[in-house]
Structure 1
Amino acid sequence: MFSKSKRQPAPKPSRHEPPRQESPGQEQAAAPTPSPPDTRTEEHIPSMSKSKPPASTLSADLTITGNIVTSGDIQVEGTVEGDIRAHLLTIGESATIKGEVTADDVVINGRIIGRVRGLKVRLTSTARVEGDIIHKTIAIESGAHFEGSVQRQDDPLSTGRSAPRQPQPEAARKDGGDKTPSAAAPGQGRQEQAPQGSS
């Protein structure tokens, strides 16, 4: 009885192995047992990468001129001159954005010069925003600087995608090409007619 008790503590230090018996064939079978922890680790890594990739980080020494579009998360510490579209956007304290920002979740610690659109928008105490904020929910901490208007919408992101700016220039081009200048732009037509009438 005492000998069995002494044999049981031996498997405890190697918790991954099943209880050993004295035959050498079974010890070899126990050798592949450490593989399952490796397999579990390999299985765990792909599940993490499929569910949510890590946030892309734009470092403080980086300046980007142009638009950024991703379905993932971005953390900006540098300068961006252009529009940003992301799932989760975090603006660091040292960051400056000059352009429109659109994301499901926006956390602003730095500076934005431009419009902000988001389902959830949060201005921390170090935030500086110069522009309008269109949101579903908003939180502004004490100490945040904000110049602009705040508008609540149930779906602020859909409004940003169907920008009314695009149809207006197209309509102006069609009107300008199909109609006379006075019909396309009444203000311009009056300016042209006033000099003609005074001549």
Structure 2
Amino acid sequence: MFSKTRVTEPGPRTQTPETEPGRPVIDTPVDYAPPPARSTTQRSGPSVLSSDLTVKGNITTQGDVQIEGTVEGDIRAHQLTVGDSATIRGEIVADEIIVNGRVVGRVRGLKVRLSATARVEGDIVHKTIAIESGAHFEGSVQRQEDPLGSGVTPKLAPPVAPKANTDA
């Protein structure tokens, strides 16, 4: 099944011109590939703020967050889950937002989902939105291709009344 090759044969090791004197030579099989380096974008589970925790200040992360407690400040994350017992007073900006609890403030996300237990008081700027039956929402909803882009939401110009025809 296995055959001995020159690379894996036991015996005295010889140094090659590429190696430094006094440094051991480590032979590895030809088909060996080192494991890939850990990526900094590799995601683990979400960071969880428990129901007995109150945060006064802004939260910013590249990862995922699940809030069960109270946050008085703005939150920016990759994915944000607002738990059933959570209350957030501030702006939320994330790629994906799932609201099960209460949010008082503006919500900006590529994908926004309000579950049946959600209570949102504020404007929602989204690319896609889903609002389940039973969700409570007070505010305006606006679709944008890039809701995360700028903090300024353009408002539509008010309608202009047509000029009266005076040529009668």
1:130 partnered with 2:121: yes
Partner of 1:87: 78
1:144 partnered with 2:135: yes
Q: Distance in 2 between matches of 1:124 and 1:137?
A: 14
Q: Distance in 2 between matches of 1:134 and 1:54?
A: 26
Deviation of 1:65 after TM superposition, in Å, equals 0.3
Amino acid aligned to 1:93: D
Q: Distance in 1 between matches of 2:50 and 2:86?
A: 9
Measured against aligned partners, the alpha-carbon deviations of 1:73-103 in whole angstroms (never above 9, x if no partner) come to 0000000000000000000000000000000
Amino acid aligned to 1:129: V
What pairs up with 1:176-191 in 2 under 5 angstroms?
Answer: none
Question: Which runs of 5 or more residues in structure 2 are unaligned?
Answer: 2-34, 154-168
- TM-score for the superposition, normalised by structure 1: 0.57
What pairs up with 1:44-55 in 2 under 5 angstroms?
Answer: 51-55=42-46
RMSD across aligned C-alpha pairs, in angstroms? 2.0
Amino acid aligned to 1:148: G
Partner of 2:61: 70
In terms of fraction of residues, the more helix-rich structure is: 1
Residues 134/51 of structure 1: CA separation in 2 closer, same or farther (3 Å cut): same
Structure whose CA Rg is larger? 1
Q: Distance in 2 between matches of 1:57 and 1:107?
A: 14
Partner of 1:158: 149
Q: Distance in 2 between matches of 1:50 and 1:150?
A: 31
Q: Distance in 2 between matches of 1:94 and 1:131?
A: 18
Identify which of 98, 104, 124 aligns with 1:107. 98
Residues 128/52 of structure 1: CA separation in 2 closer, same or farther (3 Å cut): same
In terms of fraction of residues, the more strand-rich structure is: 2
Amino acid aligned to 1:66: G
**What percent of counterpart residues are identical?**
66
Partner of 1:15: none
Q: Which runs of 4+ in 1 moved over 4 A?
A: 46-50
Q: Distance in 1 between matches of 2:65 and 2:96?
A: 11
Q: Distance in 1 between matches of 2:60 and 2:41?
A: 19
Q: Distance in 1 between matches of 2:39 and 2:72?
A: 32
